[in-house]
Structure 1
């Protein structure tokens, strides 16, 4: 059985990673495909390039391509001057066990928890040009069979309950990238159970922030899906944390996608809990239906008048702009509106 690079194979410059092992299927941006073939001449695509020389040359019998960065084959239609490369990924064999991968032996009896913990503390190998934390574990997750990949990600989930902040951070980094991996659905329960510990524990690489900040970012990645696949426990916890002022800058935008009624009911409370959210919430209010904007902005202006007026001034065209400004604190129509409430 073989797998193919998805969504398309990549060509990479000489400073990026072109694996040599046949089983290395493309799993991230800047992982080059090492099994390209041309449908026109039928030849395998060859390449050469030395690290530090920037340019890697790819060629077959009928065409060539010079690459300095990364290039999705088949992604050219959106380019200003598309290059019609028809090369395709001819497939990669599955990684079969036993195998020694970057000095780590993997076999039927592998303790995936031990492998994960060791890799978090010291990566066996970090592919050049791959801008991901815990890239080795992410790569291993994609190379393993579905059953073993699930065992690995489940083992990584257990690291979320470790007492060593480095292990916890490593697990969070993994699930930031692999938000749908088995075990990610337990993140909300984990943050709930360890909330105090997370809040009191400095991030190992950025002591000025707590691990709770990192955990909440991962929690919000679970909310990128807004359909039936949405993580309901994560949403409930995100709301609870937001009312305490805890969450990333676009917390309001995320909650708006999931539950607009809840957001606008609690908008003033959110700003009071975290004043840094005022500008973002005010902007979101200006993007709502014209019939609802006056009420939303007027309510928001009771706790963040400057943010409300700024959003209206910058985002709403005339004549509605002046009408809204008149309704906000300091506006000419404010007193009239109060009399009719």
Structure 2
């Protein structure tokens, strides 16, 4: 009888231990974001909160780095700007040496990301053209804002020699360097409001600068992933005017090898409680499902996402998005 009791106790003890151990051993879903100070990371954490499975939003060097890591099979899900999303799909621009990424898949698009120019008030930068001759941070290698800034510089005919110095700081360091006077201006392709931009304005007396003109008009007209954008007045204080600029879309992408059931569960979690998801950040407040399954997406839809969209009647069997009244 004593032996049986000991065996039963050991068996029950094993059952109690097996739950936590199994949970600890389950590999979490990793969603690659960008700088911890940016909207990608906030939205990545919001996506993880929608899921009833282990999930982690992972800071990275940004869009280009995410797309390359997806191609190498190091990631399953990641955020990327819509312009770099297109370049990777087609194997153009910075991805020309890599060739087209036939394994890249779209999940959905998210918020608009205005190209944001922030300058020290005492730098004398009142318009885009004024940044030449100054110390400017264009973003770290692998970041989306760097890719957009290089495209803009090329369109303007600017080289690095047109600036006093070019810096390659990540987004979470640039506001501090602006405050210390080590840079005169910084660029950031990001949804608003943003903590890094707010810090520069609040602590360093920085200002937001319009990014517009003939060259910007040409870029918007020539490239479908660029769109006119603006930052609302008073978003960063009562004396902040509305800012006119251009921008891109944030997109969530995946590898074709990513488990379709995982992608389906993620998409369903977002759209089945859509209002709660939109409330996770002000930049998401104007999203609609119609735009999210269409705008800024150039890679084919992942089959897990496509399954959900077809079930909702948002996409027909031939892949077309039905027109709505």
Question: Common fold, TM-score beyond 0.5?
Answer: no
Q: Which has the higher strand share?
A: 2
When the two structures are superposed, what TM-score results if normalisation uses the length of structure 2? 0.26
Q: Larger relative contact order (C-alpha < 8 A, sep ≥ 6)?
A: 2
Larger Rg: 1
